[in-house]
Amino acid sequence: MAVDAAAVRAPAAVRTPRFAEVAGGGFIVGYLSLVVLLPLAALAAEAGNFEHAVTNREAVSALKLTLGLALAVALVNAVVGTATAWVLVRDDFRGKRIVNAVIDLPFALPTIVAGLTLLALYGPRGSSGINLAYTRAGVLVALLFVTLPFVVRTVQPVLLELDTEMEEAAASLGARSTSIFRRIVFPNLLPAILSGVALAFARAVGEFGAVVLISGNLPFKTEMASVYIYGRIQSNDASGAAALSLVLLLISFATLLLVGALRRWATRHDRQD
Amino acid sequence: MIARISLRVGVLVYLAAILLVPVGLVFWRTFEHGVGPAWDAVTTPDAKHAFWLTLKIAAIAVPLNTVFGVLCALAIVRHRFPGKGVLNAVVDLPLALSPVVVGLSIVLLYSRDGWLGSLPFQVLFATPAMVLATIFVSLPFVVREVVPVLREIGTDQEEAAATLGAGAFSTFRRVTLPAIRWAVAYGVILTTARAIGEYGAVRVVSGNIEGKTQTMTLLVQDSYDNYDITGAYAASVLLAMIAIATLLLMTMFRPREEST
């Protein structure tokens, strides 16, 4: 859209031939337009009836539930994700490498399989004796499953790079471990924690596969925004589906902008050191 | 010391309750009565068809996204042009967007009264739409893996090659490509895992026609809805084994990439 193929220019040293620039730029713009931009434009055009998303009671209830649960997911991940990253970097125990590899499993496992596995344990005939099917707690657990790696994987590299000298100096000056964490470690980790949390939030807002089985999709109770949209599509209400979809699209864009700003903040931090 | 151990135990208990016990349980339930019933469930004609369709879609989507990913990373790191911020945001969008919204957008574009609704071949509820949906959701991975490596290697070697008279293409083939090959491989693994595992977007655009537009993930859901728990578990375990293989490949590739 705004990527102008003709304006693509190489830095002076390694000259890419003109036709290669135009062909490459053209391919990128064409590919993105066909795959991403045209479909999203069609969505925006269909969502003309925007009031639907903010006036239809079921849509509003689904959106509120989604945002509330996504916030809860963000909070839990901020704490547990940071703790997990800490254990993986600073602690040492047998099997740590396996635990480290397992963290990525929710990224690799199809979401529908995630939903099914949770039902096997926490479903109506689940082995745990706890039945979370068709409850908000069940949806929360499913969202925690799929968002597990985000904060761990953004905090872990920062914690690895963090020099322990500052902490040792503070300890030798008599600071207690809680105040060392609060005043030295935490401020260094904060940008990474926040960008992990933002990504987990965005993922939770849009999640479909993991929640569709466990939520039971009860309107006003466990129906998430993505599941509501799916229901509208099934009943041929394209404009209703598109209206709420556009809201989700805007939330995604806003989250990505926030993550970008956080990344710039974090690198500015580095340069000052 | 006590704080350290209780933190460790807390984290491990959380991981067990959310992740390890549920996944382990599905494996155990699947193979409870031996390998036979599970094997029968994943070798029915519908299951075989779903398996091949999933592979076919991945076989189209992954190479396309790989070529696009490398070109796009080169453009982002090595070229200056207006609208680069927009390009970056658009490439990241699939990471943050609901797959149902992706599916709906494709449906609206190719439905009968959509802008591209009168193409001479069937797009919706057929393989082309499923390929498009898969390409959309797995778009960012190669770009995001290659960009940092391209930044890190810098342009010194490429400039040296250019000074020695190498053309742009042989510089790319003999200097740049070998330097980014592990990042590309890592991106391809992630793209493939996502392509095989995609559910929401594909479900919206496929119509889920048994033996026709049903992928592995749709088969899991369909079996579950039809109270065929053995079939659902068996297909899930097959997908989980693909996911675990992905993890093993990732841990194999990661250290090599760091040492280059």
What whole-number distance in Å separates Cα of residue B132 and Cα of residue B192? Answer: 14
Q: For residues B23, B257, A271 and A201, what is the CA-based torsion angle, rounded to 10 degrees?
A: -20
Least Cα distance to B134 among B191, B212, B90 occurs for B191
What's the residue count for chain A? 273
Tally of structural domains, chain B = 2
Owner of token pair 């400039």: B159
Among the partner-chain residues B216, B232, B243, the one whose CB lies closest to the CB of A108 is B243
The Cα A233–Cα B88 span in angstroms is 30
Q: What is the pLDDT of residues A169-208, one digit of tens each?
A: 988 998 888 888 888 899 999 999 999 999 999 999 999 9
Confidence of residue A270 (pLDDT cuts 50, 70, 90): low
Pair B106, B133: CB distance under 8 Å? yes
B16 falls in which pLDDT band (50, 70, 90)?
A: very high
How far is C-alpha B91 from the geometric centre of its chain's CA atoms?
14
- Split into its structural domains, chain A has a count of 2
At residue B196, the pLDDT reads 96
Q: How confident is the model at residue A88 (pLDDT cuts 50, 70, 90)?
A: very high
Of A9, A120, A227, Cβ closest to residue B80: A9
At residue B194, what is the residue type? R
Partner residue facing B168 (CB), from A16, A230, A256:
A16
Q: pLDDT-derived band of residue B258, with 50, 70 and 90 as boundaries?
A: very low
Of B19, B74, B102, the CB nearest to A148: B19
- Among candidate residues A184, A227, A179, the one with its CA nearest the CA of residue A207: A227
Q: Do A57 and A42 reside in the same domain of the chain?
A: no
**Interface contact flag, B136 A36, Cβ < 8 Å:** yes
Letter string b/e over residues B228-237, b meaning 16 or more CB atoms within 10 A of that residue's CB: bbbbbbbbbb
Same domain, B20 and B44: no
pLDDT value, residue A205: 96
Which residues of A, range 128-147, sit inside 8 Å of B by Cβ?
Answer: 141, 144-145
Whether B136 and B22 map to the same domain: the answer is no
- Which residue type sits at A242? A
ipTM of model: 0.91
Looking at the fold, whether A192 and A104 belong to one and the same domain comes out as yes
Dihedral over alpha carbons A255, A261, A266, A270 (to 10 degrees) = 160
Q: What is the pLDDT of residue A12?
A: 44
Q: Are residues B81 and B102 in the same domain?
A: yes
Q: Which pair of tokens denotes residue A13?
A: 């040293």
Domain hosting residue B15, numbered range? 1-32
Taking contacts as CB-CB distances below 8 angstroms, the residues of chain A near B95 are 199, 202-203, 256
Tell me the residue range of the domain where A175 lies: 50-272
Chain A environment of B94 (Cβ under 8 Å): 36
| CATH number of the structural domain spanning residue B231 | 1.10.3720.10
Q: Is the domain of B8 the same as that of B122?
A: no
pLDDT-derived band at B31, boundaries 50, 70, 90 = very high
Q: Per-residue pLDDT tens for B32-81?
A: 888 888 899 889 999 999 999 999 999 999 999 999 999 999 999 988 88
Q: Are residues A262 and A224 in the same domain?
A: yes
> How far is CA B209 from each of CA A18, B57, B110, rounded to the nearest angstrom?
47, 16, 18
- Chain A environment of B108 (Cβ under 8 Å): 39, 42-43, 45-46, 238, 242
Backbone torsion region of residue B125, taken as left when φ is above 0, otherwise alpha when ψ lies between -120 and 50, otherwise beta: left
Q: What is the CATH number of the domain that holds A136?
A: 1.10.3720.10
B28 and B39, same domain (yes or no): no
Q: Does A112 touch chain B (CB under 8 A)?
A: yes
Q: Could you identify the residue written with the tokens 């547990």? A: A80
- Judge if B241 and B135 occupy the same domain: yes
Amino acid in position A130: I
The reply to whether B196 and B110 lie within a common domain is yes
Question: Stretch A96-119: mean pLDDT, rounded?
Answer: 93
B157-B161-B165 Cα angle (round to 5): 165
Rounded-to-integer distance, Cα A196 and Cα A31, Å: 29
